[in-house]
Amino acid sequence: MWALADCNSFFCSVEKAFHPGLRGKPVCVLSGNDGNIIALTPEAKKIGIKRGDPVFKVRDLISRHDVQLFSTNMTLYAAMSRRVTNMLRMRIHHVENYSIDESFCYLDGYERFYDIENFMREIVEKIRLWTEIPMSVGIAPSKTLAKIGSKFAKQYKGYRSVCMIDTEEKRRKALAAVELSDVWGIGRRTQKKLAYYGVQTPLAFADKSENWVRSRFTLPMIRTWKELNGVDCIDTTEVIAKQTICTSRSFGNMVTKLEDLKASVAHFAGACANKLRGQASLCRSITVFIATNRFREDLPQYNNILTHTLPIATADTLEITHTAIKILQELYRPGIYYKKSGVILGDISSEKAVAQNLFDHISNRSERHQLMHFIDNINQRYGAKTILLGIEGIGKQKWTAKCEQRTPNYLTDINEIMTIRI
């Protein structure tokens, strides 16, 4: 059996944990430049605010209902995520992190010693007491069914935070009660294809024969079909490894100088390379894009994008950043007010599958690999960007996102640790 432990409204719940006076009140978390709403509480949804809304369009609702706004603070959210994960691992031997707010827990064998539902409820309650983070848990023979169970646990209070799908009757009822869009692995294109064949519900798809599925779909959908029928066959390590990695951001202020753009692109390239190494992958293609503010019709508009393919796949920050800067220099046009830049890494493969090249222009690749490993360890221990490239610049810069309502890094920065006056 698998359990999916899913933190409810995670970003907002973290903010509320450090601001206890906000319990039961509408809260929203904003994008990196405080422009859009990226997360919100159920209370905020009830008054008409939606994920993705620009702040200026819902400003009236925000002031009328006293909605509390917070800038995104991924450092704080990641630190709290690690605490939640560590608490899960205190009771469960095998825990797989799927995302910042979701973890899969392998429960086979635990039924001999515990009532599984109550066992998970105890863990959920302890996490809530120790971190103030509410959680919903779905339990099922497969990860896809566990995800569906977590949706029910979140939606219906009667489950008391834990929904278990452990019988054929429960499985069929669950699949009949959800939409195809709610199923992990079924996107819009697949929904259209299923609709073409007259399949409108997850249950109808699960009831199809294996031969029918194999003749019409590729391996990922065959796995989804098996999972809906209670067969565990999805390896989350394969799912987590992304085919592209992108880091981009709108600037706090428009910039015109190439040096400012270089700093932003170097920062984003470094972040992408770090993510790449985090999933034990390499990339061969590097894409850089720059853009102006499309809402400023009084200014010249310019948007451009360019991709460069490397001869050898890499996860080296120095190599990726160097290439990204070269691309930027080709894209840059003087006299333009730029509002956004970004870096995309593509053609991603496992670091285990790297091929050697006799004509490699980097002679000390293995030493540089070790260097990246040491830098990652230091940054993980002492805080992100403890060690960075000089081209990124130090401190707040013109292009840096505003983040005017950011909660301090209470858990990771001694200079921002919470103090209480008595």
Task: Output Rg (C-alpha) for the chain, integer angstroms.
Answer: 24
Tell which of 204, 219, 240 closes a domain: 240
- Do residues 50 and 99 share a domain? yes
Among 210, 240, 270, the domain-final residue is 240
Report d(CA 196, CA 368) in Å as an integer: 52
In this predicted structure, what is the pLDDT of residue 387?
A: 83
Give 39-67 pLDDT, tens digit per residue.
999 999 999 999 999 998 999 999 999 99
Same domain, 171 and 195: yes
Average pLDDT value for residue range 167-177 = 95
Which two three-digit tokens encode residue 388?
């960075």
Query: Residue 47 has what pLDDT?
Result: 93
Concatenate the DSSP letters of all residues of 262-324 into one string.
Answer: HHHHHHHHHHHHHHHHHTTEEEEEEEEEEEE-TT-TTS---EEEEEEEEEEEE--HHHHHHHH
CA distances from 273 to 24, 290, 314, 317, 349 (A): 39, 19, 9, 5, 13
**What band does 216 get if pLDDT is binned at 50, 70 and 90?**
very high
Asked whether residue 220 falls in the same domain as residue 250, the answer is no
Site of tokens 């569906």: 148
* Residue 95 maps to a domain: yes
Greatest distance between any 2 Cα atoms in the chain? 71
Residues 105 and 1 in one domain: yes
Top mean pLDDT of 17-21, 288-292, 381-385 is at 288-292
Quick check: is 411 in a domain? no
pLDDT of residue 203: 96
Q: Would you say residue 152 has pLDDT above 80?
A: yes
For residue 6, being part of any structural domain is answered with yes
- pLDDT, residue 10, reads 96
Based on the fold, state whether residues 260 and 215 are members of the same structural domain: no
Confidence of residue 391 (pLDDT cuts 50, 70, 90): confident
Same domain, 317 and 178: no
Per-residue pLDDT at 185: 87
Predicted pLDDT at 354: 60
For the chain, the distance separating the N- and C-terminal CA atoms, rounded to the nearest angstrom, is 49
Where do we find the tokens 């996490």? 127
Query: Tell me: the pLDDT tens digits for 323-339?
Result: 999 999 999 999 999 99
Does residue 201 sit in helix, strand or coil? coil
pLDDT digits (tens, 9 = 90+) for 95-149: 998 889 999 999 999 999 999 999 999 999 999 999 999 999 999 999 999 999 9
Question: What is the spatial distance between Cα 420 and Cα 422, in angstroms, rounded to a whole number?
Answer: 6
Q: Do 39 and 133 fall into the same domain? A: yes
Query: For 266-300, what is each residue's pLDDT tens digit?
Result: 999 999 999 999 888 899 999 999 999 888 888 99
Shared domain for 347 and 230, answered yes or no, is: no
Locus of tokens 């995104």: 72
CA distance 208 to 214: 10
Domains contained in the chain, number: 3
**Are residues 292 and 341 both part of a single domain?**
yes
Q: Any idea which residue has 């450092």 for tokens?
A: 75
Task: List the CATH number of the domain containing 6.
Answer: 3.30.70.270
Q: Is residue 154 part of a domain?
A: no
Q: Could you tell me what percentage of the chain is helix, strand and coil, using 3-state DSSP and rounding each to the nearest 5?
A: 45, 20, 35
- What does the pLDDT read at residue 237? 63
pTM: 0.78
pLDDT score, position 360: 63
The answer to whether residue 49 is domain-embedded is yes
Number of H helices, E strands in the chain: 15, 13
**Domain span including residue 327:** 241-392
Decide if 274 is inside a domain. Answer: yes
CA neighbor of 31 nearest in space, from 11, 8, 59: 11
CATH number of the domain residue 191 falls in: 1.10.150.20
Alpha carbon distances (Å) from 281 to 6, 97, 238, 272, 349? 26, 17, 11, 11, 6
Q: What is the pLDDT of residue 398?
A: 74
Angle at 30 (CA atoms; ends 26, 36), nearest 5 degrees: 105
> Do residue 41 and residue 123 come from a single domain?
yes
- Of 251, 246, 250, 291, the closest CA to residue 269 belongs to 246
| Average pLDDT for 209-217 | 94
- pLDDT band at 367, cuts 50/70/90? confident
Q: Among 31-35, 78-82, 131-135, whose mean pLDDT is lowest?
A: 31-35
CATH of the domain at 307: 3.30.1490.100
Residue 221 confidence (pLDDT) above 90: yes
Assigned domain for 156 exists: no
In a domain, 344, yes or no: yes
For residue 355, pLDDT over 70 is answered with no
DSSP letter at 393 equals -
Element (H, E) at 253: strand 245-255
Same domain, yes or no, for 115 and 80? yes
Residues 177 and 124 in one domain: no
The last residue of a domain, from among 139, 158, 177: 139
